[in-house]
Structure 1
């Protein structure tokens, strides 16, 4: 049973039913897509690439904490979620395709928070606050990263991949 299935009650329906699969009292829906629509979305975004990129950022930040410079990472751009591959999709074609699902807004919010926490790690590091940078990386950054990855995997599962 998927993450969103545990949050919302599913109403049984026949294959030809035009009704929502969700109990009306829930007023919500999961990212469950018909096969043709899922195929279209799969050509627009590679979820595995988005997951890999977000997981790679943690390694880059850790290497910086270990003393390796990475001038490409700047706090003022890192905090802007719409600048990465996933963020551009979430704020463009992804919003157009999936914006009606409450789970999509949750993913956008978690993704935004992830970037804020990544920028906080970098800002602490640049200020010479290595302990704060490490605590943020191991705490709120790691938690937000995990949440984004879980939501992306749920989206991928909903796309039938």
Structure 2
């Protein structure tokens, strides 16, 4: 798993969600809200768990990753309900989404450092 790519992929969600708002396009809210539908989520539940499941950093990342997808799913549901102002507000600074996005990036970086130290 390329953890740098995982950081980039999760950062791109904000861009994708903003684009859907601007274009008034529906999104797949169920998939966005699921923590096992992205590459990182599949790794966390499979190969990553087998290799790093005993790590506190790994567990922390899993928790934060789930919270991120729940927050992104909430934005997606607002988009699909055509509540574009509410969806935009949910993406703003100081929101649950912003905190979850930042937290997952920090957690990925922390796990990456831990893995590098162990190598």
Q: TM-score, normalised by structure 2?
A: 0.88
Other-structure match for 2:72: 118
Q: How far off its partner does 1:61 sit?
A: 0.4
Greater helix content = 2
Distance 1:116 1:141 in 2: 9
Alignment of 1:130-141 (within 5 A): 130-138=84-92, 139-141=95-97
SS at match of 2:23: coil
Q: Deviation at 1:102?
A: 2.0
Moved over 6 A (4+): none
CA distance in 1, matches of 2:63, 2:91: 19
Task: Give the aligned CA root-mean-square deviation in angstroms.
Answer: 1.6
Please give the secondary structure, in 2, of the residue aligned with 1:104: helix
* Aligned pairs, number: 115
Indicate whether 1:107 and 2:61 are aligned.
yes
Gaps of 5+ in 1: 1-44
Deviation for aligned residue 1:127? 0.9
The residue aligned with 2:100 is: 144
Deviations 1:42-99 (A, max 9, x none): xxx1011111111111101011122253x5x301111111110000000001111111
Q: Distance in 1 between matches of 2:89 and 2:24?
A: 18
Pair 1:88 & 2:42 matched: yes
Cα–Cα, structure 1 residues 131 and 68, in superposed 2: closer, same or farther, change >3 Å? closer
Work out whether residues 61 and 111 of structure 2, in 8 Å CA contact, stay in contact via their aligned partners in 1: no
Cα distance between partner residues in 2 of 1:102 and 1:55: 23
Asked which structure has the greater CA Rg, the reply is 1
* SS of match in other structure, 2:87: helix
Using CA pairs under 8 Å that are at least 6 residues apart, name the structure with larger relative contact order, 1 or 2.
2
Instruction: Give, in whole Å, the separation in 2 of the partners of 1:80 and 1:67.
Output: 23
